[in-house]
Amino acid sequence: MTEMVNVQDAKTRLSEILSRVELGEEFILARGGKPIATLRAVEPAPRRELGFAPGPPLPESFWEPMSEEELAEWGE
């Protein structure tokens, strides 16, 4: 069941309320007994994997150290 909490009460109990929200509870925030907002946990964004963009495969030489000439071309 969703618990209704007045804004003033929520201000004084915010840490407790947020702990309960993290555990899956929902709250309705009210002003003067009139509901104005719902407080619930957000779902974490899914982890993104690197390499998700299609493209040509990289040759093994891509991972080899650059030669002195190549470094000079890059300003090193």
Where does 1-76 show beta strands of DSSP type E?
3-6, 27-31, 34-39
Could you give the domains of the chain?
1-42 (3.40.1620.10)
pLDDT tens digits, one per residue of 17-51: 999 999 999 999 999 999 999 999 998 878 877 76
Mean pLDDT score, 4-10: 96
Q: Is 60 helix (H, G, I), strand (E, B) or coil?
A: helix
Question: Strands 3-6 and 34-39, how do they pair?
Answer: unpaired
| Cα–Cα distance for residue pair 27/60, rounded to 1 Å | 55
**Averaged pLDDT for residues 3-25:** 95
Has residue 52 got a pLDDT over 70?
no
Report the distance separating Cα 13 and Cα 22, nearest Å. Answer: 14
Helix, strand, coil % in the chain, rounded to nearest 5:
35, 20, 45
